[in-house]
Structure 1
Amino acid sequence: MTTTARTAVLLVDDYTTTCSRCLQGAFTKDIRHDRIASGWSTPDSRDRPCGALFVAISTRRLEYTEDDLRQLRPDLPAYKAGEVPRGLTT
């Protein structure tokens, strides 16, 4: 039996980064969503990272360019707001 690894996109905002799969806080430099970034509040002790592999970086902010995103993660494909290809995540 073969299992497919779950994948996600890092979503960058002004002060936070989240995982597209579980929408929990993520650290920009992490390869997988293995820990929760708390942002402005104390994380709920029941929150758990989903473990997805980050396969791209994007944003919801129209003013952020692909070059801005590539500076954060040059190892990942970067997509402007609303331009992440359908079916990229599993």
Structure 2
Amino acid sequence: MARKAILMVDSHTSKCSRCGKGAHIQDTHHTRLLSGWGTPDPDARPCGERFVAISTLRLGITAEDLRDLRPDLPAYAAGDLPADLKGSAR
């Protein structure tokens, strides 16, 4: 079974649902880390998983907002992930 990740977007950050590390919003796979606040862990590595959807945990961000960010990915507002993707989200 192919592993999959969801690009999780917050108001100021984005991260990979598979490994929980920061991700660049324009990437198709988690191949680069997006640094957050503080000193990045020098041993941190992206997981390389392919993003199959974009979602959020923030109630104020709509699926339409997410589609504007990444029109190439299916977009799901907070709590709207389909059952087959829920295991991919943290």
TM over 0.5: yes
Q: CA deviation at 1:44?
A: 0.3
Alignment partner of 1:45 out of 42, 50, 74 = 42
Q: CA deviation at 1:5?
A: 3.7
8 Å CA contact 1:26, 1:37 repeated in 2: yes
8 Å CA contact 1:5, 1:53 repeated in 2: no
**What percentage of aligned pairs have identical amino acids?**
58
Larger Rg: 1
**C-alpha deviations, 1:23-57, integer Å up to 9, x for none?**
00000000000011002222101111000000000
Report the TM-score when normalising by structure 1: 0.89
Moved over 6 A (4+): none
Alignment partner of 1:23 out of 13, 20, 23 = 20
Aligned residues: 86
Q: Which runs of 5+ in 2 are unaligned?
A: none
Q: Which runs of 5+ in 1 are unaligned?
A: none
In structure 2, C-alpha distance between the alignment counterparts of 1:49 and 1:5, rounded to whole Å: 17
